[in-house]
């Protein structure tokens, strides 16, 4: 595996070694020792599978006092993935990073706790799985609007398909 730190040094692009031949391919999705060696020191306790169609936008989601680190793996398709630093004491508070992730490039993303997360689908469909370092807790679940002008995320689609929760999400400054 190779690791590339991104704009936020703790957010890491993970590219596993892929062993391909005429039969297909093999790759490791996670190696706890390697992760630990590169500073990803968390235990994942929940794994989720998300399926979406072109134009779906999910975000910006986070848990208030039980934050989750996430290990995101695109199994098929392409997404534009966005993280926002929501750590009030961070020098990059309210800054964001967007990155294209493509299954055919075997790309993965590690997002540490303290970041809001969202993505939009750029391929006809997408399957992704993501592991979380804390269990989902409905009482701690928070969302802010994907197009909050204070954050200023630039999305690659103009008219996303949104859930009611995301459509009605408040601005970041109004999240309690």
Is-catalytic flag, 130?
Answer: yes
Distance, CA of 1 to CA of 145 (rounded, Å): 34
Catalytic residue among 61, 71, 106, 117: 61
Contacts of 61 (CB under 8 A, 6+ apart): 116, 117, 118, 141, 142, 143
Is residue 123 within 8 A of residue 54, CB to CB? The reply is yes
- Rg of the chain taking only CA atoms, in angstroms: 16
- Cα-Cα-Cα-Cα dihedral sign, residues 102, 86, 139, 163: negative
Q: Mark whether 61 is an active-site residue.
A: yes
**Which of 59, 65, 78, 63 lies closest to 126 in space, CA to CA?**
78
Q: Please confirm whether the linkage preceding 120 is cis (ω < 30° from 0).
A: no
User: Cα(75)–Cα(154) distance, rounded to whole angstroms?
Assistant: 24
Considering the candidates 71, 80, 130, 146, report the single residue annotated as catalytic.
130
Question: Which residues are part of the catalytic machinery?
Answer: 61, 130
């Amino acid at each position: 595996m190779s690791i590339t730190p991104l704009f936020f040094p703790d957010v890491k692009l993970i590219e596993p070694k892929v062993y391909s031949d005429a039969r297909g391919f093999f790759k490791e999705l996670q190696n706890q020792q390697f992760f630990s060696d590169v500073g990803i020191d968390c235990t994942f306790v929940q794994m989720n599978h998300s399926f979406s169609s072109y134009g779906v936008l999910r975000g910006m989601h986070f848990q208030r006092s039980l934050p989750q680190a996430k290990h995101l793996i695109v199994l098929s398709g392409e997404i534009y993935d966005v993280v926002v630093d929501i750590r009030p004491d961070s020098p990059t508070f309210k800054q964001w990073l967007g990155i294209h992730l493509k299954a055919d490039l075997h790309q993965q993303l590690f997002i540490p706790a303290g970041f809001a997360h969202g993505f939009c689908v750029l391929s006809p469909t997408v399957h992704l799985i993501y592991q979380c370092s804390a269990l989902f807790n409905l009482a701690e679940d928070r969302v802010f609007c994907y197009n909050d002008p204070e954050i200023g995320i630039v999305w690659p689609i103009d008219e996303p398909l949104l859930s009611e929760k995301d459509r009605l999400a408040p601005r970041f400054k109004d999240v309690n």
